[in-house]
A and B are shown apart, each in its own frame.
Chain A
Amino acid sequence: MPNYFNSLSLRDQLAQLGKCEFMDLSEFADEANYLRGKKLVVVGCGSQGLNQGLNLRDSGLSVAFALRDSAIREKRASWQNATENGFEVGTYEELIPSADLVLNLTPDKQHSSVVKEIMPLMKKNACLSYSHGFNIVEEGVTVREDITVIMVAPKCPGTEVREEFKRGFGVPTLIAVHEENDPLNEGLSIAKAYAAGTGGHKAGVLMSSFIAEVKSDLMGEQTILCGMLQTGSLLCFNKMVEKGIEPGYASKLVQFGWETITEALKHGGVTNMMDRLSNPAKIKAFELSEELKNIMRPLYEKHMDDIMTGKFSAGMMDDWNQDDKQLLSWRDETSRTDFETTGITAQDIKEQEYFDNGILMVAMVKSGVELAYEVMTASGIKEESAYYESLHETPLIANTIARKKLFEMNRTISDTAEYGCYLFNHACFPLLQEFMERQDVDVIGRGLGLNDAGVDNQRLISINASIRQHSVEVVGKKLRGYMGAMKRIL
């Protein structure tokens, strides 16, 4: 199947890449009504499937779950989840033919096979919804002409989608309509109603395109999100151990450090993350991050280029055809790294200590977020998309590392993210060798340990201005204001 993006003219490519606009709440006055009385069938009863299904039903919509024969026959967990939650459950054959809207919420890895299976069963003019566009854009799957194809992607994990809905709010949501498949010109109405049914309209909806979603998603996940955190984990851990820091402490500082640091990022962007450091540490982190950006910029650009040309996905799909040979060997390599195999200390590390002793980690997050964002926007992706696929998602992966370290993190993220993560790591790890040789425990492991925290005013002012005036901060502040906790009345 041809790569869909590459089949478009440059003009269309640019138009699609640059699509991402914030929709006003007034555009959702009709809430979920467009779908009232229609039949929604969810495929996949994992975290996103179940929690979105619960929200949609609580919004007055009719929701059923289609599972594989075997899952029903063997009463697997997915069957049990759907049944105990009072949903109608049936096989694809039983439910898909009567569905007006099919929500494909299976893991990314299963998209192709699931779509292949359900497409022939769908009734004329029904609608198929995706949560991620790889299947359409990169694999080039063509969907039957009469079927409407949309994307609705809440930008948070399934449990959060549910919790926010129960509070009376929602999570920021991205929607898109596949222009090749909108025969009745109703894709947008369906996508809006679906987003409203999950509560997303209250937290803000971004209207994007399949292409913008896929290209920015791939870029974010393989560079700052998974790749940078993987390379950073290995480098920081090795450095600390080399310099005599107790390995259990080093392991813990890295494993939980990303999560703690990026929690500050989530609430107040790079600005707040940097503000958590003392003034001398902030200046140090700033300098390190500037240097890191210089070293890594060509690598980030290469990743973006390979994603745009389709070289990345072609390489990965080749590996799929060889039974994931490369992916599995890289995964195995990850499992044997010292960071992965070293247990963590029982010693308590206080929240602030993660910042004070993890200056280099802060610098890595800052440089990675800014680089991914800068390279994406320089390639025609809108600022809002670039923000979501870089800064916004970083805490989610950091949380995964806190729970699972690297090996399991890689196993649980999508194939595309994992493959891209390893590619990045293999290039970035050697690239930063020389830089790392010059670092010591003052920036990773032990803190600056200064008696005098004095700094030069002019220097601090110019650094603060530089942090705050970065475009990712300007856009981030606006989006968090529209969508996140700040919109709430505290």
Chain B
Amino acid sequence: MINLQNAAIFMNGGQAFKSIDIKVAAGECSVIFGGRGAERSALLECFYNPDLVTDGTYSNFARRVGIVSLREQERLILREETRDDSDLTDQIFPGTPVFDLLEETSLDKDLLAHLIDSLDLNSLLGKGFRKLSSGESKKIILARALSIKPDLLLLEDPLEGLDSLGRTQALGLIGDLSKSVTKIYSLSRVTDIPENTNKIFFLDSNSVVREFVCQSGVQARYMVSSITKIESREVVLPPPAEKRSLPTNPDGSLVNIRNATVKYTENTVFENLDLRINPGSHWQIKGPNGSGKTTLLNLINGDHPQSYVNNICVFGFRKGEGESIWEIKRNLGFVSNALHWDHRISVSVINVIVSGFFDTIGLYSNTSDLHYKLAYKWLELLGLENERDQRFTELSFGQQRLILICRAMVKHPPLLLLDEPCRGLDDADRQLVIALINRLCADGDSTIVYVTHDLEDEISFISNSLELV
């Protein structure tokens, strides 16, 4: 059994808990819910890394702890960075192959083969970790956690970012685990609370943990919903800093992609893809993990190098005919996991929002009072005005994500590309983001291209959808 008594728990940037008590019996399935995302993460992480418990008593029966979390993903990405010797060897580093990553943790060949089969990983085995889509890397992390035959499994939003087939596969594997495996979830969505939940640890706003015992998932979800109040609210967006005319192609579209192909030596992402985005017609891009949703958005914003070898017209430029990437970016706003990752820099919260006026990561330009006035209004909208001068990296993941969403919206860009924007957000924040997006659509300045796997996050204004396979 796991026992935390009077425990103080440390997290990035300070103390998450001063003194908490938590008991989990072997074989139980418990769920951490509520509070701030950073606190949930710290609590879950301390069962994996006891160094985070700085005071009180702590005991943990588990000998093998499997973990699926953003932190674990971060660890892998950072390790890949230290393995990248391209600047020394002058050889480009594609990332550790998936198979090596799986073999590294695996305790049993047959189990590994079973995991590879069940999660459909065969086609990924030769790929470098860096070349995986966000959903694919999530699956790898799950497979690693299961491959050690855990007696304790820690799962932070394990389904987030997975497509519907992936969710079924993941749920199946977790469900097949022996009853003796202890499971602790940290969840941001009520709907993700699993059927066999025995216990809820509910964090209230003062980092106090309330414990509820429950008989079923239905009961657990009901209990949690009744204590988390989400008020839907009307939002009014701050205006842009300047009004600009719409940068359309000669045919009136914002984006016109014809017969696009993206391929690598070992695989083809998609072929013969056409997409024409007209002003005011919003799009949702659908498709399974690895089908190229992020790749497609990166063709539009110019971040994908193969945008130069495809027939792409965007904002009046024929891609590759002498335009600079900044001439394209000034017309769009963008949120993605990669952009979030690239924001590990020392910059204040308000300056992240102001940087949205300049399309930079960090701020290097001459700003005006107007930029700061508008950025402050966005912070008020989020209720984060007291954090204006804090380091961006000290905010919780979810707060960072909200800031990045506002950064993308500040200039009311003609085109707003949102790649899984709600990742890491809890129910209340998600409602806010969806309200923001709906407002932006209704105001009519921006056209939206949206990627999500979650049906409940759909945007009512979106009428067009493109399904990648």
Q: Which residues of A contact B (CB under 8 A)?
A: 32, 36-37, 44, 46-48, 50, 54, 57-60, 62, 75, 77, 80-81, 83-87, 107, 157-160, 163, 166-169, 202, 400, 403-404, 408, 412, 485, 487-490
Would A403 and B88 count as touching, CB distance under 8 A?
yes
Residues from chain B with Cβ under 8 Å of A46 in the complex: 86, 90-92
Residues from chain B with Cβ under 8 Å of A86 in the complex: 305-309
User: In the complex, what distance in Å separates the CA atom of A46 from the CA atom of B87?
Assistant: 8
B302-317: CB near A (< 8 Å → 1, else 0) gives 1101111100000000
CB-based nearest A residue for B354: A489
**Of B15-23, B168-176, B319-327, which binds chain A?**
B319-327
Contact of B363 among A50, A166, A489 (CB under 8 A): A489
User: In the complex, what distance in Å separates the CA atom of A97 from the CA atom of B346?
Assistant: 46
The reply on B468 being an interface residue by CB < 8 A is: no
Contact of A159 among B86, B302, B306, B307 (CB under 8 A): B86
Residues of chain B in range 339-378 having any CB-CB distance to chain A below 8 Å = 342, 345-348, 351, 358-364, 367
Number of B interface residues at 8 Å Cβ cutoff, please give it.
39
Task: State the majority secondary structure of interface residues on A.
Answer: helix
The reply on B89 being an interface residue by CB < 8 A is: yes
Q: Which residues of B contact A (CB under 8 A)?
A: 82, 84-92, 264-265, 302-303, 305-309, 322-327, 342, 345-348, 351, 358-364, 367
Would A167 and B361 count as touching, CB distance under 8 A?
yes
Would B342 and A166 count as touching, CB distance under 8 A?
yes
Would B88 and A400 count as touching, CB distance under 8 A?
yes
Q: Which of A37, A47, A48 has the most CB of B within 10 A?
A: A47
Would B307 and A58 count as touching, CB distance under 8 A?
no
Would A84 and B89 count as touching, CB distance under 8 A?
no
CB-based nearest A residue for B355: A168
Residues from chain B with Cβ under 8 Å of A166 in the complex: 303, 342, 361
Would B90 and A168 count as touching, CB distance under 8 A?
no
CB-based nearest A residue for B265: A80
Number of contacts between A and B (CB, 8 Å)? 100
Residues from chain B with Cβ under 8 Å of A83 in the complex: 265
Would A77 and B91 count as touching, CB distance under 8 A?
yes
CB-based nearest A residue for B92: A81
Q: List 13 A-B contacts (CB under 8 A).
A: A47-B87, A58-B325, A85-B305, A86-B305, A87-B308, A167-B342, A167-B361, A168-B358, A403-B85, A412-B85, A488-B347, A488-B362, A488-B364
Would B305 and A54 count as touching, CB distance under 8 A?
yes
Would B302 and A412 count as touching, CB distance under 8 A?
no
User: In the complex, what distance in Å separates the CA atom of A403 from the CA atom of B81?
Assistant: 11
User: In the complex, what distance in Å separates the CA atom of A181 from the CA atom of B302?
Assistant: 37
Residues from chain B with Cβ under 8 Å of A412 in the complex: 85, 88-89
Shortest distance between the CB of A226 and any CB in chain B (Å): 13
Q: Which of A46, A160, A487 has the most CB of B within 10 A?
A: A46
CB-based nearest B residue for A62: B322
Residues from chain B with Cβ under 8 Å of A87 in the complex: 305, 308
Would B351 and A489 count as touching, CB distance under 8 A?
yes
Residues from chain B with Cβ under 8 Å of A107 in the complex: 90
CB-based nearest A residue for B323: A60
Would B348 and A490 count as touching, CB distance under 8 A?
yes
The 9 A-B pairs with the shortest beta carbon distances in the complex, nearest first, are A168-B360, A46-B90, A157-B87, A167-B361, A85-B305, A58-B325, A60-B324, A489-B363, A86-B309
User: In the complex, what distance in Å separates the CA atom of A50 from the CA atom of B87?
Assistant: 11
CB-based nearest B residue for A167: B361
CB-based nearest A residue for B359: A168
Contact of B362 among A77, A167, A403 (CB under 8 A): A167
Would A488 and B363 count as touching, CB distance under 8 A?
yes
Would A36 and B322 count as touching, CB distance under 8 A?
yes
User: In the complex, what distance in Å separates the CA atom of A157 from the CA atom of B325?
Assistant: 22
Would B82 and A403 count as touching, CB distance under 8 A?
yes
User: In the complex, what distance in Å separates the CA atom of A44 from the CA atom of B91?
Assistant: 11
- A60-B323, A80-B265, A489-B367 are known; give 9 further A-B pairs, CB within 8 A: A37-B322, A46-B86, A46-B90, A87-B305, A160-B87, A166-B342, A167-B361, A488-B363, A489-B363
User: In the complex, what distance in Å separates the CA atom of A154 from the CA atom of B356?
Assistant: 27
Q: A36-B322, A59-B324 are in contact. Are A169 and B87 (CB under 8 A)?
A: no
CB-based nearest B residue for A79: B265
Would B362 and A404 count as touching, CB distance under 8 A?
no
Shortest distance between the CB of A195 and any CB in chain B (Å): 15
Shortest distance between the CB of A333 and any CB in chain B (Å): 21
Shortest distance between the CB of B123 and any CB in chain A (Å): 18
Residues from chain A with Cβ under 8 Å of B305 in the complex: 54, 84-87
Residues from chain A with Cβ under 8 Å of B324 in the complex: 32, 58-60
Would A167 and B84 count as touching, CB distance under 8 A?
no
Shortest distance between the CB of B266 and any CB in chain A (Å): 10
Shortest distance between the CB of B102 and any CB in chain A (Å): 23
User: In the complex, what distance in Å separates the CA atom of A126 from the CA atom of B91?
Assistant: 29
Q: A59-B325, A85-B305, A86-B306 are in contact. Are A77 and B88 (CB under 8 A)?
A: no
Shortest distance between the CB of A242 and any CB in chain B (Å): 31
Residues from chain B with Cβ under 8 Å of A44 in the complex: 90
Shortest distance between the CB of B250 and any CB in chain A (Å): 20
Would B86 and A47 count as touching, CB distance under 8 A?
yes
Shortest distance between the CB of A135 and any CB in chain B (Å): 17
User: In the complex, what distance in Å separates the CA atom of A299 from the CA atom of B6?
Assistant: 61
Residues from chain A with Cβ under 8 Å of B323 in the complex: 60
Would B91 and A58 count as touching, CB distance under 8 A?
no
Residues from chain B with Cβ under 8 Å of A75 in the complex: 265
User: In the complex, what distance in Å separates the CA atom of A47 from the CA atom of B86?
Assistant: 6
Contact of A84 among B264, B322, B326, B363 (CB under 8 A): B264
Contact of B92 among A58, A77, A408 (CB under 8 A): A77
Shortest distance between the CB of B44 and any CB in chain A (Å): 22
Shortest distance between the CB of A3 and any CB in chain B (Å): 28
